[in-house]
Amino acid sequence: MTPYENIISKRDLRMYTDQPIAEDVMQRILQAGRMAGSAKNIEANRLILITDQGVQDALVAAGDFVSWIGSSAAIIGFVSPTAELRMFDVGRQGQNMMLAAHAEGIGTCPVTLQHQDIARAAVGLPDDWSFPMAITLGHPVEDHPDSPLKRQRVAMDDLVLHNRWS
């Protein structure tokens, strides 16, 4: 699969088998996140690899639409000192890891955690740190259903403007 094919074939998956992710595969996924660029090269983000079922279950209450996350083989949490938080860096790391996982046959889905007090408590994070997002990972179920929100992508002519808004 070419990099382009990897990008355009990746989809967010929320249903996984109970098969664990091999350690060498997980290390390649984490390395892909480690190699993402960082604003001003500060590398403030840290990753929390969560495989403990109790911690995963506690995180369910940290988001408004994340009831399914406890069924994943692993969750990678993005944490950062609140004063240093750069959401663009979180996105870069997350996309790198999700594409690396997809190339390895591992399904992923990004997750927003709206309730920071609950997210911090679940992983023992200090109050001056933020835990805004995570990604779930797991081996996809054989017959993963399409999302009920599935729709056509915005047409290229509607997406891309040239030089100016009008």
Determine the average pLDDT of the residues in 153-157: 89
What is the rounded CA–CA span in Å between residue 4 and residue 145? 24
pLDDT band at residue 152 under the 50/70/90 scheme: confident
pLDDT of residue 72 exceeding 90, the answer is yes
The pLDDT of residue 140? 94
Collapsing DSSP states into helix, strand and coil, what is residue 68? coil
Side-chain half-sphere exposure of 108, counting CA atoms within 13 A? 25
Please give the mean pLDDT across all residues of the chain. Answer: 93
Collapsing DSSP states into helix, strand and coil, what is residue 139? coil
What is the rounded CA–CA span in Å between residue 32 and residue 46? 13
Residue 75 near residue 101 (C-beta atoms within 8 A): no
Residue of 16, 17, 45 whose CA lies nearest to 30: 45
- CATH code that applies to domain 3-159: 3.40.109.10
The pLDDT of residue 148? 63
**97-118 pLDDT, tens digit each:** 999 999 999 999 999 999 999 9
The pLDDT of residue 76? 98
pLDDT of residue 144 exceeding 80, the answer is no
pLDDT band at residue 147 under the 50/70/90 scheme: low
The pLDDT of residue 142? 86
Determine the average pLDDT of the residues in 28-54: 95
Sheet of strand 129-138: strand arrangement: 46-50, 74-81, 129-138, 107-112
pLDDT > 70: percent of the chain: 96
Q: Where are the domains of the chain?
A: 3-159
